[in-house]
Amino acid sequence: MRELKNLEKICAEKGHDFVEKVKEKNKSSIVNTVNKAMGILQENGIYAYFIWLNSRSSDEEKVIARELINTSENLLEDYDKEIFKSQKGFQSLFEADDIRLNSFIMMKKLLYLMLTYALYIAKGLSDKSDEQGEDNG
């Protein structure tokens, strides 16, 4: 039986942790990447979400996307450790034959909630360009 956890709190913490790890990057890049990731997840599902994150090409986007992948995998592992027992990361989701639909739907909701928290936290970051302008003025 799965241990009862405060999943909302876990999603909020993971969203915060993600932003803390990438906050040195351009705020608009963080916000745009998270926004796009939310759209892909919502419209196309978990697999498309991970594929899209892996396909980022610019250096800054790659760093942000890699951290989103790590955070997402950590969140899903916290939700159900059995899913990631093979150490293959998100690929484990698609190799497992026994993931029930309700578990898959729950994982999608958790990822979306974590991204929502990350988005609002990232929007609260100050712009580096604004800070540099104030320092010069």
Q: What is the pLDDT of residues 17-39, one digit of tens each?
A: 999 999 999 999 999 999 999 99
Torsion of CA 49, 74, 13, 18, to 10 degrees: -60
Cite the DSSP H helix spans in the chain: 7-22, 27-44, 46-54, 59-79, 91-95, 101-123, 128-136
- Residue 42 CB partners (closer than 8 Å, separation 6+): 112
* 7-125 CATH, one of 1.10.540.10, 1.10.520.30, 1.10.3720.10, 3.30.1370.30: 1.10.520.30
Percent of the chain's residues with pLDDT above 90: 58
Helices 101-123, 7-22: crossing angle, 10 deg rounding:
50
Q: What is the pLDDT of residues 34-52, one digit of tens each?
A: 999 999 999 999 999 999 9
Gap between the Cα atoms of 97 and 86, Å rounded: 13
In this prediction, residues 109-125 reach a mean pLDDT of 96
Contacts by 5-14, CB closer than 8 A, 24 or more apart: 5/78, 5/79, 7/79, 7/110, 7/113, 8/113, 10/75, 10/78, 10/79, 10/110, 11/75, 11/110, 11/113, 11/114, 11/117, 12/114, 12/117, 14/71, 14/74, 14/75, 14/78, 14/114, 14/117, 14/118
